[in-house]
Structure 1
Amino acid sequence: MPHERITVDPGRMGGVPCIRDTRVTATAVLGQLAAGRSVAEVLADYPYLDRDDVLAVEGFAAVAMQERELPLSPPTAA
């Protein structure tokens, strides 16, 4: 299961989801992918990760997004 590669430990990185008990957060990897970096480029930055780790982050994010209500437009200024 891909989510076995994503761990949450309140004592590590403030409880933010990380990859396999490392200090690499899921959001760090997602941010790079969202910025247009390839999986190979991400892995070059984090040589101790592998392709399945990156795919696990994408799967984790997809599931997490299903559990949130997102605004369809930006909030208006008060």
Structure 2
Amino acid sequence: MNDYLKYITIDPNQRSGKPCVRGLRITVFEVLSYLAAGDSYEDILEHFPMLTKEDILACLAYAADVEGKIQIAS
């Protein structure tokens, strides 16, 4: 997903400025944590019925983009 920015919002007045899904109070971190715990897309959509599969994919794309930009000084 190249256009994840239409799904991921950052508002300093919401959730302490953490990246959220479509302005909802659900953070990218929360979605990724569920995936890391082994939950399926269907499990997450059951926990958060206001999300879509595209929202979950946007979280993954955002995380991949952020991770790709991290540089560790050696």
For the criterion TM > 0.5, the same-fold answer is yes
- Unpaired segments ≥5 residues, structure 2: none
- Higher Cα Rg: structure 1 or 2? 1
Residue 29 of structure 1, CA deviation:
0.3
Give the ranges of 4+ consecutive aligned residues of structure 1 lying more than 3 Å apart after TM superposition: none
What does residue 66 of structure 1 align with?
68
Q: How many residues align?
A: 71
State TM-score, norm by structure 1: 0.86
Matches within 5 A, 1:13-52: 13-52=15-54
Deviations 1:24-68 (A, max 9, x none): 000000000011100100010000010000000000000000111
What is the percentage of aligned positions where both structures have the same residue? Answer: 36
- Unpaired segments ≥5 residues, structure 1: 71-78
